Amino acid sequence: MAPAYPASALDASVRRAAAYPEPAHAPRPQPPLPPHPLRPLPVPALFERANELTEREKEVLQWIAEGRTSREVGLILSIAERTVKFHLRNIYAKLNVLNRTQAVSIANRMNLG
């Protein structure tokens, strides 16, 4: 059972707390963060970036968007799987994405898939 406090003690505590306009631990306003380098790009900027892709990178991206593995893409294009992965790294950098799923999402928006 909670101990009983006299009402006057509780009133005094409330008045003391109300006397401070802001708690000492209140967060201070922070300046806005700069744009994150991996935030989604606006659509026009996205297509500009996509235009930076080489023809081979577009081919690789098309096959990846079709659901092919890196090995399968290599066999289709008669290149090594390692070369496909090299192209994928370049694609990720040019499209400002982190992984295959994000790249495929962009490929679909560009009607490459």
CB 50 within 8 A of CB 42: no
- Residue 98 φ then ψ, to 5°: -105, -20
Q: From the CB of residue 65, how many other CB atoms can be counted at a distance below 10 Å?
A: 19
pLDDT value of position 23: 59
pLDDT value of position 11: 81
pLDDT value of position 49: 75
CB 87 within 8 A of CB 57: yes
Longest dimension (CA), the chain: 86
Ordered per-residue pLDDT tens for the chain, 113 residues: 556 667 777 788 888 877 776 656 666 677 776 666 656 556 666 667 778 899 999 999 999 999 999 999 999 999 999 999 999 999 999 998 999 999 999 888 877 66
CB 103 within 8 A of CB 95: yes
| Structural domains of the chain, with CATH | 39-113 (1.10.10.10)
pLDDT value of position 101: 94
